[in-house]
Amino acid sequence: MTAQFTIDTGIAKRLPLARAPRRHRRVAAMGKALQMLQRVAPRAAGNLVESLFFTPRRLPIPVRYEHLLDQADSFTQVRHGAVTLPVYSWGAGPVVLMVHGWSGGGTQFGAFVEPLVSAGYRVVIFDAPGHGRAQGGRTNLYEMTNALARVAASIGPIDTIIAHSLGSLAAARAVVDGVQASRLVLLAPPKDLASVVSGFGGELGLTEAMVARHRQRMEDAFGPEVWQHFSFDALSPALGARGLVVVDQDDQSVPASHSDSVHLGWAGSERLQTQGLGHHKLLWHPSVVSRVQQFMAVAA
């Protein structure tokens, strides 16, 4: 039987969702423009949809964690193809590698640094291509997975990988492909790339035909096996690491049911359910940080 835990995070439910309505209006307007373009220039519309999907938004570093970069015990750069990726680490001991999600950055895990270093770990973060302070523009899950593997090879044996959102698929793929880790913590993982594409189309309000064409373009670029390569239905049976899946009931980016399916399909994994944290507060809420530490304290 797998272990399950529920944490009351009701206080977080009162925190405002800043600027969400304005962003939704912009996204809706963009979707309508794409539909209009589709009628007169379908190829151009397809190119724009593809560009939007593969180009992460480069979000600013959370101000409250900027000081951590200056206090890092080491800073290195890893070459990945034509781009350079920054790698920061704090502390000494078993390595904990943090893997951010789409449009995220390593510093989003700032709340984990001091607690884990105090507990005797070495915490390592990096920015994937096109994210944070890394070079690059357009990228994809294969590149993110390969970048993770390259960073992992540069830092030695890994005790725990903690991944958020789309980074969870990259982390799982990397582990299945040979990256060694005793534990794998997934915060709000999507169940597969196919659902991510559907969610992307839904957010923009694209027609089913436009989403289908985007899927076909992805298969043309990466092969029809791309959906299997990034699906927890296929990945979970091959995950040897101990697992913890963190699911928030109010996540508006990755449905809780999708993250739940990751846990249910991953034999022996533990599940932490929260409420009111949404998709991003999982990255810093004390209850999550504490529970992850407890999970890591148990021998693999």
Q: How does pLDDT run across 240-266, given as a tens digit for each residue?
A: 889 999 999 999 999 999 999 999 999
Residue type, 227: W
The SS3 of residue 66 is helix
Q: How does pLDDT run across 101-153, given as a tens digit for each residue?
A: 999 999 999 999 999 999 999 999 999 998 888 888 889 999 999 999 999 99
Query: Looking at domain 4-19+65-192+235-297, what is its CATH homologous superfamily?
Result: Alpha/Beta hydrolase fold, catalytic domain (3.40.50.1820)
Is the model more confident about 261 or about 40?
261
Q: For the whole model, what pTM was predicted?
A: 0.88
pLDDT at 43 > cutoff 70: yes
274, 287 Cβ separation under 8 angstroms? yes
Question: How far is C-alpha 168 from the geometric centre of its chain's CA atoms?
Answer: 5
Report the C-alpha gap between 64 and 44 in whole angstroms: 41
The SS3 of residue 182 is strand
DSSP-assigned letters across all residues of 225-248: THHHHTBHHHHGGG--SEEEEEEE
DSSP character at residue 91: S
> What pLDDT score was predicted for residue 13?
37
DSSP-assigned letters across all residues of 271-294: EEEESS-TTTGGGT-HHHHHHHHH
**Domain ranges across the chain:** 4-19+65-192+235-297
Q: How does pLDDT run across 158-184, given as a tens digit for each residue?
A: 999 999 999 999 999 999 999 999 999
**CA proximity to 52, closest of 131, 132, 137, 145:** 137
Report the C-alpha gap between 251 and 245 in whole angstroms: 14
